[in-house]
Amino acid sequence: MRVKLSSRDTLIVVDMQRDFMPGGALPVQEGDTIVPKLNEYIGLFSKKGLPVFFTRDWHPPDHLSFKEQGGLWPPHCVQYSEGALFHPDLLVPQDNRFIISKGTSKDFDAYSGFQGTILDNLLKERGIRRVFVGGVATDYCVRNTVLGAINLGYQAFLLLDGIKGVDVKQGDSDRAIEEMLQMGAVALELKDLG
């Protein structure tokens, strides 16, 4: 497959934050290993002058997803904490980049970069039609961002060489990939982009 990038395209890098990396509060196994590949995608999109969006969990200390509040997860990506920062090696350009914070209210959770954010408005404002999505975790925030994009009418491309999953249950990531493809996402790797 060969996909030619156009002015209607954008890259969405999902939740590449310290708390989701090995040693973090909610680690994705080998999550840090995709940083170099994501940096290649970021470099490619930036070189072409295409916007790059970075989503991040940005939770208050008493967020409903935390176990202490009856949620599923240990506290993670608390606003202004070290764990909420992007991976130190992730290339976050100063030009043409946008940071989208999600899960910012204590009573509302958001796995998708579109839930409770202005991401859709920013994409529409720029005439974006196709989104290229990578990051963590395949089976949670990547999955929901891809499905959210499809439901909002975007063509979604899943960057297979730029994702890692949690796999709370063995096979969760593979099932999530299969679901995204069945819903209309297209899987590709960096070598497929022109």
Category of 184 on φ-ψ map: left (φ > 0), alpha (ψ -120 to 50) or beta: left
pLDDT tens by residue, 74-118: 999 999 999 999 999 999 988 888 999 999 999 988 999 999 999
Q: Considering the domain boundaries, does residue 188 fall inside one?
A: yes
- Candidates 53, 58, 54, 52; CA nearest to 19 is 58
How many domains are there within the chain? Answer: 1
Q: In whole angstroms, what separates CA 44 from the centre of its chain?
A: 17
Banded model confidence at residue 49, pLDDT cuts 50, 70, 90:
very high
From the number of C-beta atoms within 10 Å of its C-beta (0-12, 13-18, 19+), residue 171 rates as exposed
Banded model confidence at residue 48, pLDDT cuts 50, 70, 90:
very high
The radius of gyration of the chain from alpha carbons, rounded to an integer in Å, stands at: 15
Q: Considering the domain boundaries, does residue 2 fall inside one?
A: no
Average pLDDT of the chain is: 96
pLDDT tens by residue, 125-157: 999 999 999 999 999 999 999 999 999 999 999
Name the pTM for this structure. Answer: 0.97
Q: Considering the domain boundaries, does residue 71 fall inside one?
A: yes
pLDDT of residue 12: 98
The Cα–Cα gap between 152 and 36 comes to 30
Residues noted as catalytic: 15, 102, 141
Domain residues for the domain of 53 are 9-192
Q: Considering the domain boundaries, does residue 1 fall inside one?
A: no
- Kindly report the CATH number assigned to the domain that includes residue 141: 3.40.50.850
Q: Considering the domain boundaries, does residue 4 fall inside one?
A: no
Task: Answer yes or no: is pLDDT of 72 > 90.
Answer: no
